[in-house]
């Protein structure tokens, strides 16, 4: 019952029942011999019962000390020890007494090897010798009470056995303590390493915290500067909006019109400019119809740099028309080019700045339009037919071009004609699928498709198509498109 939670070897599980059987056979032969000789007494009863409990006693002692493999070794050696004693007690006469030493020694040889067999044989001889000594002492001392003498012998033997077990347990305990001490040393070394690593990690953490705090300070500083920049750009936007013709002024001079204006950033490098040709205060000097200058310009760059160029271009156009009183559209562009190049010091190709602008300029008079352009087209939609007028192939400004002379086109106007002027922001926009440009062809198809709608509806439809084409992509450039109906 003590072996339920123990692990015996395969040989041990086989030989243990055989050892119990050998003890039973020995006890049976002792009982039979005394019964036949009619010498049964209390000593005989004790001598018969002892072999029945002997295996369990030795197993209990070793089970108590929790020595799994040593349970088998020690119990086998005890078997050998008592086998020697039984042979003496049977006076070397009972053949059954030989079953104990033969069985035990065979068990040791089969499951434990020659070395353990030698120890078992020594145990057998020790039991044999001790019992012979006991018999001789009994005879010499004439001990009458054989039960007391035998009990004393058994008590002495168990003391020796117990001392052996304690010694084995102590050895195991010392080995366990040595192992634990070794493990403690290893744990201590690992703890020291962990402490060093922890200290290093703490230093790194402190460095990271310091870097984080530094980054937070820098981020706060950057956010503050960014806010200041955005505030400045927003203020620049208010100035730019103030310089552009208001919707009220635009509608006053061109009631049948729309403006699709969508900067890429806060401020724009695209601008539109509107100026009446005559500003005389004397009513009798005014013509019977109003003549209007209208320009759509796309400056180099976008954002702040483009906005600065836009403000410069808008101011110079107003100066040319109002102060210099130049009214021919091609001459206006020639003068604009000269003044831009002078302002930006673009004397030749070696100039550091080659900024400028593309611009389409028209003068709307009673039945015709005067048109001059630097790289921007003019689209006329008449009777569902697209008529495109292209500008000259050089920009305003830039030191790469010399001897510029812009061309004037005179275009007759009919009732219900639609006129469109635009920057390249809408045609250069990439779509969200194939990375293709919107293109002038698609723009012309849309204008042709929507020409029967009102100008307000045309503006909305063009804007919807542009935004759908752009999708989640970033806007490529500033967008400006103006439509006029005559």
DSSP labels, 383-402: TTEEEEE--BSS-EE-TT--
Among all chains, which residue has been given the structure tokens 């080659």?
354
Domain-located, residue 111: yes
- How far apart CA 5 and CA 44 sit, in angstroms, is 35
pLDDT in tens, 250-294: 988 999 999 999 999 888 999 999 998 765 444 444 444 468 999
Residue 235 belongs to some domain of the structure: no
- pLDDT tens figures, 129-157: 776 776 665 554 444 444 444 544 554 55
Check residues 106 and 125 and name the one with the higher pLDDT. 125
Strands 270-276 and 385-389: unpaired
Per-residue DSSP letter, 277? S
Please give the structure tokens belonging to residue 332. Answer: 């206006």
The residues near 163 (Cβ < 8 Å, ≥ 6 apart) are: none
Task: Single out the residue in 100, 117, 142 at which a domain terminates.
Answer: 142
Q: What is the pLDDT of residue 455?
A: 92
As beta bridge partners, residue 374 has 359, 392
**pLDDT for res 93:** 44
pLDDT over 80 at 422, yes or no: yes
pLDDT digits (tens, 9 = 90+) for 388-418: 999 999 999 886 777 889 999 999 999 999 9
Residue 177, pLDDT score: 74
Same domain, 130 and 267: no
**Above 70 in pLDDT, residue 343?**
yes
Model confidence at 227, pLDDT cuts 50, 70, 90, reads confident
User: What letter does residue 337 receive in the DSSP assignment?
Assistant: H
- Gap between the Cα atoms of 285 and 293, Å rounded: 19
Q: Is residue 252 part of a domain?
A: yes
pTM, entire model: 0.57
Domain's final residue, options 109, 142, 175:
142
Position 1 scores a pLDDT of 40
pLDDT at 261: 94
Backbone Cα Rg of the chain: 59
Listed residues 76, 111, 142: the one ending a domain: 142
Q: What are phi and psi of 295, to 5 degrees?
A: -130, 145
Rama region for 38: left / alpha / beta (φ>0; ψ in -120 to 50; rest) = left
**Per-residue model confidence (pLDDT) at position 372:** 97
Q: What is residue 336's three-state secondary structure?
A: helix
pLDDT at 361 over 90: yes
pLDDT digits (tens, 9 = 90+) for 450-472: 988 999 999 999 999 999 999 88
How far apart, in whole angstroms, are the C-alpha atoms of residue 34 and residue 471? 114
Q: d(Cα 5, Cα 62) in Å, to the nearest integer? A: 13
Total of domains in the chain? 2
pLDDT band at 369 (very low <50, low <70, confident <90, very high): very high
For the cut 80, the answer to whether the pLDDT of residue 110 exceeds it is: no
For residues 124 and 83, is the Cβ–Cβ distance under 8 A? Answer: yes
Question: Has residue 232 been placed in a domain?
Answer: no
Q: Are residues 347 and 468 located together in one domain of the fold?
A: yes
Instruction: Measure the CA dihedral 275/278/280/282, to 10°.
Output: -130
pLDDT value of position 265: 87
Q: What is the mean pLDDT of residues 115-136?
A: 70
Q: According to the model, what pLDDT value does residue 43 have?
A: 57
d(CA 106, CA 88): 20
- Mean of pLDDT over the chain: 77
The pLDDT of residue 152: 46
Distance (Å, whole) CA 342 – CA 308: 16
pLDDT at 309 over 80: yes
pLDDT at 107 over 80: no
Percentage of the chain beyond pLDDT 90 is 32
How far apart are alpha carbons 75 and 63 in whole angstroms? 11
Whether residue 128 lies inside any domain: the answer is yes
In percent, how much of the chain has pLDDT > 70? 62
- Top pLDDT among 118 and 327 is at 327
Q: Is residue 188 part of a domain?
A: no
pLDDT digits (tens, 9 = 90+) for 37-78: 666 666 566 666 666 666 666 656 555 555 555 556 666 666
| Whether residue 427 is found in the same domain as residue 302 | yes
Confidence of residue 240 (pLDDT cuts 50, 70, 90): confident
User: What letters, b where the CB count within 10 A reaches 16 and e where it falls short, cover 406-438?
Assistant: bebbeeebeeebbbbbbbbbbbebbeeeeeebb
Pair (260, 113) in one structural domain: no
Task: Tell me the C-alpha to C-alpha distance, in Å, between residue 481 and each of 136, 261, 485.
Answer: 134, 7, 14
- What is the rounded CA–CA span in Å between residue 436 and residue 444? 16
Residue 73 lies in a domain: yes
- Asked if the model's pLDDT at residue 334 lies above 80, the reply is yes
Quote the CA–CA distance of 11 and 69 in Å, as a whole number.
Answer: 12
Q: How far is CA 159 from CA 82, 107, 150, 153, 439, in A?
A: 14, 25, 14, 10, 110
Beta bridge partners of 418: 381, 485
Domain extent at residue 104: 10-142
Determine contact, residues 83/127, Cβ cutoff 8 Å. Answer: yes
Which pLDDT value is given to residue 322? 92
Query: Does 54 fall in a domain?
Result: yes
Question: pLDDT confidence of 370, banded at 50, 70, 90?
Answer: very high
Where are any strands of DSSP class E within 277-398? 292-299, 356-364, 368-374, 378-382, 385-389, 396-397
CATH of the domain at 270: 3.60.40.10
Give the dihedral sign, CA 122/126/132/136: positive
Q: What is the pLDDT of residues 182-225, one digit of tens each?
A: 888 888 888 888 888 888 888 888 888 888 888 888 888 888 88
pLDDT value for 161: 55
Q: Are residues 138 and 272 in the same domain?
A: no
Angle at the Cα of 293 (from 444 to 476), degrees rounded to 5? 45
């Amino acid at each position: 019952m003590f072996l339920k939670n123990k692990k015996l070897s395969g040989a041990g599980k086989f030989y243990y029942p055989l050892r119990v059987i050998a003890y039973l056979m020995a006890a049976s032969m002792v009982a039979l011999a005394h019964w036949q000789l009619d010498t049964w007494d209390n000593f005989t009863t004790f001598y018969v019962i002892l072999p029945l409990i002997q295996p369990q006693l030795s197993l209990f002692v070793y089970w108590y000390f929790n020595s799994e493999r040593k349970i088998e070794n020690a119990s086998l050696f005890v078997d050998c020890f008592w086998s020697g004693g039984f042979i003496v007690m049977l006076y070397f006469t009972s053949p059954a007494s030989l079953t104990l030493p033969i069985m035990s020694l065979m068990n040791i040889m089969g499951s434990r090897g020659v070395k353990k067999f030698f120890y078992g044989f020594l145990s057998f001889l020790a039991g044999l010798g001790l019992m012979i000594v006991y018999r001789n002492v009994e005879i010499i001392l004439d001990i009458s009470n054989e039960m007391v003498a035998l009990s004393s012998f058994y008590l002495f033997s168990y003391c020796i056995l117990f001392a052996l077990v304690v010694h084995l347990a102590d050895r195991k305990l010392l080995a366990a303590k040595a192992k634990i001490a070794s493990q403690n040393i290893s744990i201590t070394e690992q703890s020291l390493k962990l402490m060093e690593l922890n200290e290093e990690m703490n230093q790194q953490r402190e460095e990271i915290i310091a870097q984080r705090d530094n980054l937070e300070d820098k981020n706060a500083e950057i956010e503050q500067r960014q806010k200041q920049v955005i505030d400045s750009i927003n203020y620049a936007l208010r100035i730019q909006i103030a310089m552009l013709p208001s919707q009220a002024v635009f509608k006053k001079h061109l009631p049948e019109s729309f403006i699709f204006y969508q900067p890429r950033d806060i401020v724009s490098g695209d601008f539109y400019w509107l100026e009446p040709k005559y500003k005389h205060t004397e009513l009798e000097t005014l013509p019977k119809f109003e003549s209007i200058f209208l320009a759509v310009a796309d400056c180099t760059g976008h954002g702040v740099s483009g906005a600065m160029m836009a403000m410069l271009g808008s101011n110079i156009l107003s100066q040319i028309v109002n102060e210099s009183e130049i009214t021919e559209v091609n001459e206006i562009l020639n003068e604009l080019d000269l003044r831009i190049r002078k302002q930006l010091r673009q004397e030749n190709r070696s100039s550091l700045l080659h900024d400028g602008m593309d611009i389409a300029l028209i003068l709307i008079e009673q039945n015709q339009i005067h048109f001059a352009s630097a790289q921007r087209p003019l689209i006329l939609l008449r009777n569902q037919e697209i008529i495109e007028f292209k500008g000259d192939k050089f920009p305003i400004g830039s030191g790469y071009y010399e001897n510029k002379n812009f061309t004037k086109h005179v275009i007759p106007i009919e009732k219900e004609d639609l006129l469109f002027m635009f920057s390249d922001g809408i045609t250069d926009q990439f779509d969200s699928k194939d990375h293709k440009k919107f293109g002038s062809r698609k723009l012309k198809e849309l204008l042709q498709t929507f020409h029967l709608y009102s100008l307000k509806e045309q503006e909305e439809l063009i804007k919807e198509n542009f935004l759908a084409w752009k999708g989640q992509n970033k806007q490529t450039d500033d967008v400006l498109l103006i439509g006029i109906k005559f």
